[in-house]
A and B are shown apart, each in its own frame.
Chain A
């Protein structure tokens, strides 16, 4: 368990920072809600006219004038974007950073199997994602308190669960990629995250691109799809977890056989 502990110590600052920035931005947005609500009559119409752009962010499906819908749009984009970048950067770095910083030799000449190192790192990654989301959720709850509004809880919790699953999927896929990298992992992580994110937006804009929902986890984690009926798409989630598992398996096999230097 010493590698797990070590990873946590190393990642703590990062996850606090990500959690506070994403959560803090959500707090700021939610704090604006009471003022915006007074003017929302005009705004909803304005948003409805935005067509494709509005649709990309789910504005056509969510009621902007209610706290749940408002939260879905703002928290949805903040946590949606921030979360996948956090997960991608974390995942692509988790194995490759040891080679980039030349610590792989130090680590793996100690009595530990690569299997154990891999799974301790995986655990550390998942715990960090959980903690980061914990911070965001705490700050969100706090912000509801501050403005004295009560959202529809079921939808909000399902939304956060879906976000957690999406980040887990991306982190696992990126960890798989990480096993193939030797250096410069961050840019690849950001690339993967951006690709999946824009695929998700693309899928929202046009019906013809509907098939992308089988590729990007953004499809099952989008607040606009979850909040109206307070329901998750189990099939898409299952497919997503399948990708995560596949990524991890390929990464594990590669990591077992890889030359370390």
Chain B
């Protein structure tokens, strides 16, 4: 599926300084029954966000108006567990375009890249600084420049470069789609298939 182009994103950010946030927290399994990619943002972090009577939990960050923005900042090992792309969809549908953490689980990272959410891996030191700055001032702006591969805290000028492979970077900058790429080499795929033993 084609997605929005990503170039420079400058936004305030939502802090979630918990480690090992798994995809069951991001979107619980009981909300995976849809056959279309619609409405997943409503159930993002459902059981942390709402109590058993569907009332918003006051102490959860998404229910705190002070924090908002297009960037979600999470603790180490973000997105572990299930391969459900619904987790990335929920993050996108809620309005985030970028997730920042010091470590990402593999499948989650791929899923994000495939739908146009940029996962930005930063050092533990920068992550801590980002959390500290946001808690000092919830309007702290974070800037992510994909082309230059640089993330910075605007207020403090602290910055760091981040990694992304060239191919994926081009795709995100241009909104290109992997399947279109593969469709163009379909004949070589079919040739290859003839040689496989299975």
Task: Tell me, yes or no, whether A binds B.
Answer: no
Binding site for B on A (CB under 8 A): none
State the B residues within 8 Å of A (CB).
none
